[in-house]
Amino acid sequence: MAETKSMEKIVNLAKTRGFIYPSSEIYGGLSAAYDYGPLGVELKNNIKAAWWKKFVTERPDMVGLDAAIIMNPKVWEASGHLQNFSDPLVDCKSCHKRWREDHLLEDKAIKPKYDKARPHDPRELHCPECGGELTPVRQFNLMLKTFLGPIEDTSGIAYLRPETAGGIFVNFKNVVDSMRLKVPFGIGQIGKAFRNEITTENFIFRTREFEQFEIEYFIREKDWKKSFDQWLSVMREWCLFLGLDKKDLIEHEIEDKDRAFYSKRTIDFEYKFPFGQSELYGLAYRTDYDLKQHQQFSGQDLSYTDPVTKEKFVPHVIEPSLGVDRSFLACLCAAYTEIEGGRSTTTESIKESEVVLKLPYALAPIKVAVLPLSKKEPLADLSQHILLDLKKNFVAVYDETGSIGKRYRRQDEIGTPYCVTVDFESLEDKKVTVRDRDTMVQDRVAITELLVYLKEKFNL
Ligand code: ATP
């Protein structure tokens, strides 16, 4: 059985099966803006809930936060975003297309990857589209600006946060004072972030509005190596939980010269997406840079005092920084499985190729589908009862159209782990057939036992 996957097929499935739509499509769309459809929102919520559980609530040393998106602009002065959060931009003099110089250099494997002090030699690079000459580099700030209040003048300037971490740092003192936590401890947050990206590409991989999972884990300086390694293994486990294959994951140790000056160690998790190997997540040891910056700019004491030893210090941080949308995309790409010739042997459903979305069962948007063998009573009535019962515990759907084979294919395509078929015998023996998506094994289960059976399957 040959298997193939391409971005084109994945994007197409995402749209036609209700995972992701181009945003404002009836008005021609908006570049790099997407909407999560009915199945997409379920999958995304499942990913977010699983992250929150694994990284926050399951741990004794973590708490959560949900900070505002629009913050005091001084936050971004202190963090360095207003001065330095920029990408190197070049324009093609012929076709006027805009490019990120660092990406063009990476594509040509010209090292160092990017060095502000050493912009490219214009003869080295040309427009990838038309081969035209490129302009010298300009630094382009990625912060999305807005105005608060009725008058659009400088006093009202505010920014949509470019990352969620800022909200964590500025609340460090509040959390310490209100939660009586002892270092080491961390604060986790899930939320939207905005960047005016120059190039948007590859579906939801790089968009201007996106969501992040971020953690700042506060430690004593001497513990940084131990803590870094612990978070590294949590992130590895998380990648496997999403269904990503180990062989498609690359841990890229960022060299000294390419790291931010305050970071003593950074690892980028890269994933082999169908469009190429690209950054999925980052893990960084950021020293005490952030809290010290906020201390200096706010004039507030952001040090921590150990309640027992009375030792006073500004904590250092380990930052696991993950993208929600990139998690979704990697999960979708890993799950997409196309089987040439199909899996089934019954003639009615033999196709040239068959798609099975092999999502981890816990993440599947729909957990169970109820399929009556006939649309008519009394099967319809019994099936509706089963559906309503299941819906109290699972996201469940009903499908009565087409042959059973076709209905199985439809559910396989969206990753539904279990299909419950109600047939004429069900009226007599009060049992249904439960089919497993991946093994295609079918079990005959008593209707009264169905809930327990499925809960066991999902480890609930
Ligand atoms: P890139 O080099 O791809 O632009 P980055 O190194 O600037 O990413 P970080 O600032 O480290 O990214 O952000 C942390 C995480 O947030 C990334 O690893 C990624 O998962 C996610 N992320 C960042 N920018 C975007 C974006 N424009 N669209 C979607 N997700 C993003």
Identity of residue 31: S
- Amino acid code (one letter) for 444: R
Q: Is the dihedral of CA 214, 218, 224, 226 positive or negative?
A: negative
Quick one: tokens of 44? 């995304």
Tokens describing residue 433: 């057939």
The values of phi and psi at residue 383, to 5°, are: -65, -40
Strand, coil or helix: what is 20? strand
Please choose, from the candidates 437, 301, 412, 294, the residue with its C-alpha nearest in 3D space to the C-alpha of residue 353. Answer: 412
Average pLDDT over residues 209-213: 98
* Nearest Cα residue to 336 out of 38, 42, 4: 4
Round to whole Å and give the CA distance between 143 and 194.
Answer: 7
pLDDT at 111: 55
Distance 11 CA to ligand 1 centre (A): 20
- DSSP state for residue 113 in the 8-state scheme: S
Element (H, E) at 103: helix 101-107
pLDDT score for 2: 46
Q: Give, rounded to a whole angstrom, the gap between the first and last alpha carbons of the chain.
A: 34
Residue bearing the CA closest to ligand 1, atom 16: 323
How would residue 345 be classed by pLDDT, with cut points 50, 70 and 90?
Answer: low
Which residue's alpha carbon is nearest to atom 29 within ligand 1? 206
pLDDT of 1 reads 45
Q: What average pLDDT does this structure show over 437-442?
A: 96
Residue 151 makes CB contacts below 8 A (sequence gap 6+) with none
> Does residue 119 register a pLDDT over 80?
no
All structural domains of the chain, each given as residue ranges with its CATH number in brackets, are 7-80+143-333 (3.30.930.10), 86-140 (no CATH), 366-457 (3.40.50.800)
Q: How far is CA 437 from CA 16, 90, 395, in A?
A: 20, 49, 16
Q: Does the pLDDT of residue 352 top 80, yes or no? A: no
List beta partners, residue 402. none
Q: Is the CB of residue 326 below 6 angstroms from any atom belonging to ligand 1? A: yes
pLDDT at 112: 46
Q: Summarize pLDDT for 147-165 with one digit per residue, the tens.
A: 999 888 888 999 999 999 9
The helix/strand/coil state of 223 is helix
Look at residue 453 in the predicted model and tell me its pLDDT.
97
Taking the whole predicted model, whether its pTM rises above 0.85 is answered as yes
Confidence of residue 349 (pLDDT cuts 50, 70, 90): low
User: pLDDT grade, residue 344 (50/70/90)?
Assistant: low
Q: Is the Cβ atom of 212 under 6 angstroms away from ligand 1?
A: yes
When mean pLDDT is compared across 109-118, 132-141, 184-193, 391-400, the lowest value belongs to 109-118
Please give the average per-residue pLDDT across 176-197, as a whole number.
96
pLDDT at 411: 98
Specify the pLDDT at position 377. Answer: 86
DSSP conformation letters of 340-400: ET-S---GGG--SEEEEE---GGG-S--EEEEES-SSTTHHHHHHHHHHHHHTTS-EEE--
Query: How far, in Å, are 32, 299, 370, 416, 437 from residue 388 at the CA level?
Result: 38, 58, 10, 17, 22
Q: Does position 117 have pLDDT exceeding 70, yes or no?
A: no
Counting residues of the chain whose pLDDT is more than 70, the rounded percentage is 94
Q: How confident is the model at residue 102 (pLDDT cuts 50, 70, 90)?
A: confident
Nearest CA to ligand 1 atom 1: 279
**pLDDT tens column, 365-397:** 999 999 999 999 899 999 999 999 999 999 999
Q: Are 142 and 195 spatial neighbours (Cβ–Cβ below 8 Å)?
A: yes
Pairing of strands 62-65, 185-194: parallel
How close is the Cα of 364 to the center of ligand 1, in Å? 25
pLDDT on residue 103 = 83
Percentage above 90 pLDDT, the chain = 80
Q: Can you give the pLDDT at residue 199?
A: 78
Residue 285 corresponds to which tokens in the numbers above?
Answer: 């040891």
pLDDT tens sequence across 264-301: 999 999 999 999 999 999 999 999 999 999 999 999 99
Task: Quickly count: other Cβ atoms within 10 Å of residue 359's Cβ.
Answer: 24
Average pLDDT of the residues in 315-339: 97
What whole-number distance in Å separates Cα of residue 181 and Cα of residue 321? 22
CA 97 to centroid of chain Cα atoms: 29
Q: Where are the beta strands (DSSP E) in 150-229?
A: 157-160, 185-194, 209-219
- On the question of pLDDT at 124 being above 80, the answer is no
Span of 54-58, 88-92, 144-148 with lowest mean pLDDT = 88-92
**Please, what's the b/e burial string for 46-63 (b: 16 or more CB within 10 A of its CB; e: otherwise)?**
bbbebbbebbbeeeeebe
Q: Is the pLDDT of residue 167 over 90?
A: yes
Q: What is the DSSP string of 276-313?
A: EEEEEEEEEE-TTHHHHHHHHHH-----EE-TTT--EE
233: left (phi over 0), alpha (psi -120 to 50) or beta: alpha
pLDDT tier for residue 110 given thresholds of 50, 70 and 90:
low
pLDDT at 3: 47
Sorted by sequence, the CB contacts under 8 Å of residue 7 that are 6+ apart come out as 202, 203, 273, 274, 275
Determine if ligand 1 sits within 6 Å of the CB of residue 266: no
- Is residue 282 within 6 Å of ligand 1 at its C-beta? yes
Give me the pLDDT at residue 348, please: 55
Going from the Cα of 323 to the center of ligand 1, the distance in angstroms, rounded, reads: 7
Q: What angle do CA 314, 316, 322 make, to 5 degrees?
A: 135
Whether residue 286 has its Cβ less than 6 Å from ligand 1: no
- pLDDT tens column, 53-82: 999 999 999 999 999 999 999 999 999 999
Nearest residue CA, atom 20 of ligand 1? 323
